[in-house]
Amino acid sequence: MRTLPPGSTIGMLGAGQLGRMTALAAARLGYKLHAFSLEGRESSCGQVCAEVTTADWHDRDALARFAASVDVVTLEWENVPTGTVDFLSTLVPVHPGSAVLAVAQDRLKEKAFANAQGLETAPFRAVRNVAELEAAVAELGRPSILKSTRLGYDGKGQARILPGTDLADAWAAVGTDEAILEGFVDFACEVSVITARREDGVMASFPVVENRHKSGILDTTHVPAAVTPAVAAQAVRVAETMTRSLNVVGLLAVEMFVTSDGRVLVNEVAPRPHNSGHWTQDFCETDQFEQFVRAVCGLPLGPTGIVSPCVMTNLIGDDVAAWPALLAEPGAHLHLYGKSEARPGRKMGHVNRKA
């Protein structure tokens, strides 16, 4: 395993708020961050990192120049084209690799991979047209949920199949020719675990947290999750199994459903820092962004103990207008992403508070 010393440069594919917070954490440890993105200096990450390359994902000349300027490459967005990662991997170490992205980018592959590791998921079927949707609904029943296999996030690219739903309308609403129908899960709560893994296989997992959504977008994360020790241990085992089996170097966030009878089902994975880990910036021994830097640079992983029970609240759209009050609120830790325009559904920042 190669260890990169302070003074090295980390290449980041993507330039959003996850890159921004990684750049700030890297700077604390003496590393520089160079972002590659379609966006430029005004991006959330571009405002705070050492350098930005603004180019198309398929611009090989720009990618080669970028690779020559960095010591390792990672990403803050799992939908980077796998061809881009494959090309960069011939020039510089890239963590995680394209094999991880191939699974994380496709909901069908994601669930099939989890099942192959002996892990449970919601029942699902591949759907490519209305006729297949009708057949899948006949098998899985209503309610169920139709999702695009790729790119949908924060409730986008999804349609709920309820008793009165017209299936042709639902198919048109998702707007894809490759989808997945997921059967209804009677879950008690949604939880997630973020696991860090180095190239030598050493892992460290953050505690299990509970996530509550509003309009398909994460609203609050509650730390620790109100689950039994047995369920918490199972959730960590699931996350570490996925991380090890995918051979992730960096971070893997695993979102899971906990059923009323205590089963843990894999929902989605993300090979990068995750919104449900933002609480770690103020209430954990090591925050997820520093741990991310430690993992991709081959450094010792930090401890992951909870300093205090807490709640992370996302600031979505116009919620950010409350920043003066949040700054004045005792005990509130405000994190803003430097985005100039608040739009409905857009993550503008978050605030961490003791529970």
Assigned domain for 105 exists: no
* pLDDT for 151: 75
Number of domains within the chain: 3
Residue 286 has a CB neighbour count (10 Å cut-off) of 18
168, 183, 198 - which closes a domain: 183
* Residue 24 shares a structural domain with residue 86: yes
Q: Is 182 annotated as a binding residue?
A: yes
Query: Are both 223 and 340 inside the same structural domain?
Result: yes
The structure tokens listed for 38 are 């379609």
Q: Structural domain of residue 320, as residue ranges?
A: 187-354
Angle 43-48-53 from CA coordinates, rounded to 5°: 55
184 has binding-site annotation: yes
Q: What is the CATH number of the domain that holds 283?
A: 3.30.470.20
Residues 90 and 164 in one domain: no
267 annotated ligand-binding residue: yes
Report the candidate in 92, 48, 134, 99 with the shortest Cα–Cα distance to residue 296: 92
**Is 213 among the annotated ligand-binding positions?**
yes
Do 23 and 60 lie in a common domain? yes
Give Cα separations from 316 to 99, 275, 276, 325 (angstroms).
32, 12, 14, 16
Query: Are residues 179 and 192 part of one domain?
Result: no
CA–CA separation, 186 vs 169, rounded Å? 25
Residue 103's contacts (CB-CB under 8 Å, 6 or more residues apart) are 109, 110, 113, 246, 269
Q: Are residues 178 and 210 in the same domain?
A: no
Q: Which is it for strands 250-259 and 264-270: parallel, antiparallel or unpaired?
A: antiparallel
Give the model's pLDDT for residue 215: 86
Asked if 179 and 272 sit in the same domain, the reply is no
Statement to judge: residues 250 and 159 lie in one domain: no
- The H-or-E segment that residue 145 falls in is strand 144-148
Tell whether 183 is in a known binding site.
yes
Which tens digit of pLDDT belongs to each residue from 282-329?
999 999 999 999 999 999 999 999 999 999 999 999 999 999 999 999
In a domain, 230, yes or no: yes
Cβ neighbours for 191, distance < 8 A, ≥ 6 positions apart? 208, 209, 210, 211, 225, 227, 235, 255, 256, 257, 258, 264
On whether residue 326 sits in a domain, the answer given is yes
Tell me, yes or no, whether 83 and 222 share the same domain: no
Give the whole-angstrom CA distance, residue 196 versus residue 185: 28
- C-beta atoms surrounding 189 within 10 Å: 17
Per the domain annotation, does 103 fall within a domain? Answer: no
144 and 200 together in one domain:
no
Residue 350 one-letter amino acid: H
Which among 53, 76, 94 is the end of a domain?
Answer: 94
Positions of the chain with pLDDT lower than 70, given as ranges? 152-156
Q: Is 231 helix (H, G, I), strand (E, B) or coil?
A: helix
3-class SS letters over 90-106: CCCCECCCHHHHHHHCC
108 lies in some domain: no
Which amino acid belongs to residue 20? Answer: R
Q: Which residue has the tokens 């971070």?
A: 251
Residue 175 pLDDT = 87
> Was 152 annotated as part of a binding site?
yes
Spacing of C-alpha 33 from chain mean position: 20
In the prediction, which pLDDT does 153 show?
62
Question: Known binder of ligand: residue 129?
Answer: no
For residue 76, the one-letter residue type is E
Assigned domain for 164 exists = yes
185 marked ligand binding residue: yes
User: What is the crossing angle of helices 167-174 and 130-140, to 10°?
Assistant: 110
Q: What is the CATH number of the domain that holds 138?
A: 3.30.1490.20
Are residues 178 and 204 both part of a single domain? no
List the beta bridge partners of residue 347.
316
Residue 118 located in a structural domain: no
The response to whether 79 counts as a known ligand-binding position is no
Strand (E) positions, 260-331? 264-270, 310-316
178 marked as part of a ligand binding site: no
List the CATH number of the domain containing 58: 3.40.50.20
- Do 63 and 27 sit in the same domain of this protein? yes
Nearest to 140 by CA among 126, 153, 157: 126
Residue 52 forms beta bridges with which residues? 35
Any domain includes 104: no
